[in-house]
Structures are given as structure tokens and as C-alpha cells.
Amino acid sequence: MRKFRYIECKNCGILNDSRFNLCTDCGYAIKQDRAPRPPAHSIELNWRDLQIGDEVYIICSDVWVSTAGIPIYMGDSGKFKIIRLTQEGVVAYSTDIGFAFFNMVWADTIGMCNIRRKQTKVYSIGNKARASR
């Protein structure tokens, strides 16, 4: 016999199926997207110390908050190879995503779109990237 998993709504206390994003009774946001995490045993790097060809793990935490209050992470995150460095950020390449530009300078909230930009972070992968001191 298969057991079903249920999540209790924090707003009204009703049990909902674990696959639902919103409460079936009150419409409260139950399930939250998880923020991307850095790999284990990685060191945060200063992006200005990077060089072309370094392989790093980049986390871009751009979040769009839906009308139901559910955060949806929109930024690209993962293992990237540095292609180019500019005054405002990094151009990098990943076999999963392709080319991406990461703006490292500013972080704020864009009003009409309800997008919250957080600071993009760069982490080392093993011994391939140098730790900033």
C-alpha cells in the first residue's frame, strides 16, 4: 500500500497533497522553490580576481515573486568557464546553459516586474580556482 505525503497549510491548517503549490482551501502558498546552493567545501571568490579559463560555480539569485507569493528563481546557476571579464561582470560558458552574462555590480528590486536581484556569488570548484584572501 502506497503512503501519500501531505503538507499542512500554515494559514488554515488543512492537509494538502505534497505536489500542490497552493492550499486547496485558502490559496496560501505552500511549496517554496529552493534557492540554489554552492557545492560542498567550496570557497567564495572575489569575481575581480578571476582570470579567463577559470572554472567556477556561479549562483545568480534573481527571484520573481508571483502574485500567490511563491518565489521563482530565474537566474542561471551552475558550473561555468570564464570567457571574458568586463567592468560590470563576467561572461561565462556552460555546457548546460550556454553563454551567460552575470552582472556583478548592482543588486536591487525592479518595481513593476516584482523581480528581486541579489548579489551574484562565485565559488571555487576544487583546486582549479584561486581563493581570494
Q: What pLDDT shows up at residue 9?
A: 85
96 shares a domain with 42: yes
Q: What pLDDT shows up at residue 132?
A: 43
Separation between Cα atoms, residue 2 and residue 49, nearest integer Å: 53
102 shares a domain with 43: yes
111 shares a domain with 55: yes
Q: What pLDDT shows up at residue 111?
A: 62
Q: What pLDDT shows up at residue 92?
A: 92
Q: What pLDDT shows up at residue 131?
A: 45
**Number of domains the chain is built from:** 2
What residue ranges of the chain have pLDDT lower than 50?
1, 128-133
Q: What pLDDT shows up at residue 81?
A: 93
Does residue 91 sit within a domain?
Answer: yes
44 shares a domain with 56: yes
Does residue 129 sit within a domain?
Answer: no
Task: Please say whether the beta carbons of 107 and 63 come within 8 A.
Answer: no
38 shares a domain with 9: no
> In terms of residue numbers, what domain contains 49?
33-124
